[in-house]
Structure 1
Amino acid sequence: MTTHALVLKTFPAGSPRGSWPAEEFAARLREHGRGAEVVMDLVADSFLVVEAAPPPAPQDTSGHEASRLGAVA
């Protein structure tokens, strides 16, 4: 299963002891109704503030062009 997320901001993992800038940024976004969370990018050694992105819209694979009201037969 693939999860889609939009990276809003990155923070280096080497912040001073007791400093959590990625968590603080995500908390401010959540206060404004955004669904932000912090994840770790182990390869880049950084924290990512991400927001879940809606899954991509389904594609019409029948070979017919879809109209706004439904598929055209």
Structure 2
Amino acid sequence: MGALSVADRRAHEAAQGPVRTARQQPSVRRTVLASFPAGNPRGQWPAESRAAQERRQGVPARVVMDLDTDSFLVIVERPAA
């Protein structure tokens, strides 16, 4: 499957409605623990599994989508030192 045309991308974004973004506090540092391709047949499940594994070990990991690289990222947010 190829990339979306400009018109298709605009139509897709318009259909989603307003996008809310969380503002990151300047005192927070994000660390990427793992990256999984979104084109994986299992979708985001490997990323969710990895995040769950990290959370069981006490690491507050979560999954986010990186649209630029079309991948799911397992990240940790920690206060900057």
- In the superposition, the TM-score normalised over structure 2's length comes to 0.60
CA contact (8 A) 2:34 2:75 kept: yes
Aligned residues: 56
Cα offset, 1:4, TM superposition: 2.4
Which residue of 31, 44, 60 maps to 1:35? 60
Q: Secondary structure at the match of 2:72?
A: strand
The separation in 2 between residues aligned to 1:32 and 1:53, in whole angstroms, is 16
Percent identity between the two aligned chains: 54
The separation in 1 between residues aligned to 2:76 and 2:57, in whole angstroms, is 13
* Equivalent position amino acid for 2:61 in 1: A
The separation in 1 between residues aligned to 2:43 and 2:32, in whole angstroms, is 24
- In the superposition, the TM-score normalised over structure 1's length comes to 0.66
User: Greater CA radius of gyration, 1 or 2?
Assistant: 1
Listed as ranges, the gaps of 5+ residues in structure 2 are: 1-24
Which residue of 20, 31, 38 maps to 1:6? 31
Pairing 1:52–2:77 present: yes
Q: Which has the higher helix share?
A: 2
Cα offset, 1:19, TM superposition: 6.2
Moved over 2 A (4+): 1-4
Listed as ranges, the gaps of 5+ residues in structure 1 are: 58-73
Q: Give the superposed CA RMSD.
A: 1.8
